[in-house]
Amino acid sequence: MSAFQSYYHLRKESFSIDPWADSEIYFGAGHLQDRITRRINSDFVQQRAVPKFFLFGRYGAGKTHTLAHIAHVLRTDADLAKDFPTEPIYFELAPLRTREKWSTVHERLINSIGLPRLKEAVSALVSNAGPQVDPLQALQDGEVLRFGETALQNSQAQIFRNLLFGGRQETLSWEWLKGRQLKIDEAQMLGTETSLTEPSDFIACLLNCASLYAKGLRKKIVLLIDEGEALGDVENADALHEFEFAIRRLVGNENNVLGIVLAYQTEGGAAPRVLQHDGIRRRVDYDQGFIDLTGLVLAPEDARQFILEVINYLVDADAAKATIDAEGLTDTEPEFFPFTPDSVDAIADYVTQEPDRSLPSQIIALLSNAVIEGWRRRSASPNGHVLIEDEIANVVMYPDES
């Protein structure tokens, strides 16, 4: 344990929050957390059968942390894990070009699921079918390959079977799943009748992969997609048409095997153009399917609650109480340490005066800077701890005036 960590009884080496390491806790705005939880639960029991909704907010509003918390909830909530087991998969949607094809996104989606997961699902499905059942017959079960035309379904059954063999067959089959156009001799070796060419093919292939996973491993994949603002880069009319078609299919009720939670950054509240398509909005219940994270911290009381939750998470309250009692620190209490109630109130007022300040990332950065400033001044109080009082809070809130 570092001297800094020990001095302020921190549970971590720094006064900071990591979206993934600290995903079990969701700070502030209980109403927002409740709305997300209700959406997840209602999606599972409605016709859509898997979570499908969008998150948005300004930079630093907590999109990544929210996705990480959703993954944590899906994995650890006892009722969800029992009744609706899932495999949450997080990935960032890389920048796209104006004329991008949906095939590019398809490849990224398949890569996010990964070859090991699909191989595990195929192996489990074949094993569950029993030793007397031909692998191809098990894979051609109507509950596995439910999407696309017959030629695509037959081809994908061969592709999934080839994943059992390893070597070149596995490598080429993986490339087929990602959308690569095979040579004639390669297609003959794999036993495929067709390749993926149209957006409808890519969507059918993706959903069949999710269906395979659900059938083989008894879990539904939920893709947690970050940096969704990249969709706004797509502006060409033909490209937009492809993306609208594909996303409409993904969030439609016919897809009951692959969850989609997409987070995007917006400064003005407008979604990327492709997500404004009425067919997409209607399928996620219009505004009910778009959750605004900027409502996380609105009023001083919201900010105060947020700050106290962060302090409670990062500071060992029992150790703080022992220090308070030993040193007679009457200006604070364990739930505020190392801050004083007055400094917490001052910071809460300050961060809610302007929208930029009320972002969770900005509040945590401000708290961290205040704790570091208190640590820097420890030599001035050799016989006791330096509390974060109003004067220190003002130094970090108004550095130009200090």
- Residues 238-269: tens digit of each pLDDT: 999 999 999 999 999 999 999 999 999 998 77
What is the CA 225 to chain-centroid distance, rounded? 6
* Coil, helix or strand at residue 208: helix
Q: Give residues with Cβ within 8 angstroms of 79, minimum separation 6.
A: none
b/e per residue 11-35 (b: at least 16 CB within 10 A) = eeeebbbebeebbeebbbbeebbeb
Using 50 as the pLDDT threshold, list the residues of the chain that sit under it.
Answer: none
- Helix (H), strand (E) at residue 255: none
DSSP 17: -
- Residues 33-78: tens digit of each pLDDT: 899 999 999 999 999 999 999 999 988 889 999 999 999 999 999 9
**Cross-strand bridge partners of residue 290:** 54
d(CA 248, CA 12): 43
b/e per residue 96-125 (b: at least 16 CB within 10 A) = beeebbbbebbbbbbebbebebbbebbebb
Q: Pick the closest to residue 206 from 131, 159, 147, 262 (CA basis).
A: 147
pLDDT of residue 215: 96
Axis crossing angle, helix 300-314 with helix 360-376, rounded to the nearest 10 = 60
Which domains, from first to last, does the chain contain?
3-11+298-401 (no CATH), 30-296 (3.40.50.300)
What is the CA 344 to chain-centroid distance, rounded? 30
How many other C-beta atoms are found inside a 10 Å radius of the C-beta of residue 134? Answer: 11
pLDDT of residue 178: 98
pLDDT of residue 402: 60
pLDDT of residue 28: 64
Axis crossing angle, helix 115-129 with helix 150-162, rounded to the nearest 10 = 90
